[in-house]
Amino acid sequence: MPFINVGQENSGPIDIYYEDHGSGQPVVLIHGYPLDGHSWEKQVPVLLEAGKRVITYDRRGFGRSSQPTTGYDYDTFAADLKTLVDKLDLRNMILAGFSMGTGEVTRYLGTYGSERVAKAALFGPIPPFLLQTDDNPLGVPQSVFDGFKDTITKDRYAWFKFFLDNFFNVDEFHGTRISDEAWNASFQVAAGSSAYATYACVATWLTDFRADLPKIDVPLLVVQGTEDRILPNAATGRRIPEIVKDCEYVPIEGGPHNVGWTHAEEVNEAFMKFIG
Residues in CB range of 124: below 8 A, 6 or more apart:
32, 98, 99, 102, 223, 224, 225, 228, 230, 231, 236, 237, 257, 258, 259, 260
Q: Do strands 53-57 and 93-98 pair parallel, antiparallel, or not at all (unpaired)?
A: unpaired
The one catalytic residue among 31, 194, 257, 263: 257
Edge to edge, the sheet with strand 26-30 lists 3-9, 12-21, 53-57, 26-30, 93-98, 117-123, 220-225, 247-252
Long-range contacts of 64-68 (CB under 8 A, 24+ apart): 64/1, 64/17, 64/36, 65/3, 65/15, 65/16, 65/17, 66/9, 66/12, 66/13, 66/14, 66/15, 66/16, 67/193, 67/194, 67/196, 67/197, 68/7, 68/9, 68/12, 68/14, 68/194
The one catalytic residue among 39, 65, 66, 99: 99
The one catalytic residue among 65, 193, 228, 263: 228
Angle 105-111-112 (CA atoms, 0-180°, nearest 5)? 85
Catalytic (active site) residue 65: no
Catalytic (active site) residue 11: no
Catalytic (active site) residue 228: yes
Catalytic residues: 99, 228, 257
